[in-house]
């Protein structure tokens, strides 16, 4: 069985936020808020991690910067880095509490600032 990427993602952009699991709501809202400020940011939410979806690499390579938001120590980030040899940056939290939208917005804004300099 081959998993497919069935998410809507803009063609390319400055930042792709890839996430999975319980991060969906906060990541989606943070991406919406950053996009409302005029930034080109996309959100890709994986529904399964194994096997990784077919076509994922072609999506990842269209973005200047990739961030992986995870509620752990960054295991998916490590997998994406090693499989696709891309500089995926982690945004992690291991506090037992969900991400705050403001925390994610700040992390995305910081990555976008580094992209433009």
User: Would you state the pLDDT for residue 8?
Assistant: 54
CA distances in angstroms from 29 to 32, 50, 113, listed in the order given = 5, 26, 20
Whole-model pTM: value is: 0.86
User: Would you state the pLDDT for residue 48?
Assistant: 87
Instruction: Answer yes or no: are the C-beta atoms of 112 and 39 closer than 8 Å.
Output: yes
User: Would you state the pLDDT for residue 1?
Assistant: 38
H or E stretch at 24: helix 24-36
Neighbouring residues of 91: CB distance < 8 A, sequence distance ≥ 6:
67, 68, 69, 70, 104, 107
Which residues of the chain fall short of a pLDDT of 70? 1-11, 115-117
Task: For the chain, count helices (H), then strands (E).
Answer: 4, 4
Q: Partners of 69 in the beta sheet?
A: 19, 91
User: Would you state the pLDDT for residue 114?
Assistant: 79
Domain boundaries, the chain: 13-116
User: Would you state the pLDDT for residue 82?
Assistant: 97
The CATH number for 13-116, chosen from 3.50.50.60, 3.40.50.920, 3.60.21.10, 1.10.10.10, is 3.40.50.920
User: Would you state the pLDDT for residue 88?
Assistant: 96
Q: CA-to-CA distance for 80 and 38, rounded, in angstroms?
A: 28
User: Would you state the pLDDT for residue 96?
Assistant: 87
């Amino acid at each position: 069985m081959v998993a497919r990427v069935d998410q809507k993602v803009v063609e390319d952009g400055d930042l792709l936020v890839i996430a999975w699991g319980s991060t969906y709501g906060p990541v989606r809202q943070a991406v919406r808020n950053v996009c409302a400020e005029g930034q080109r940011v996309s959100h890709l939410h994986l529904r399964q991690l194994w096997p990784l979806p077919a076509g994922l690499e072609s999506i990842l390579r269209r973005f200047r910067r990739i961030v992986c938001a995870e509620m752990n120590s960054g295991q998916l980030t490590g997998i994406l880095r090693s499989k696709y040899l891309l500089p995926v940056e982690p945004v992690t939290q291991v506090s037992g509490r969900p991400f705050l939208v403001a925390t994610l917005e700040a992390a995305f804004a910081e990555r976008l600032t580094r992209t433009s300099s």
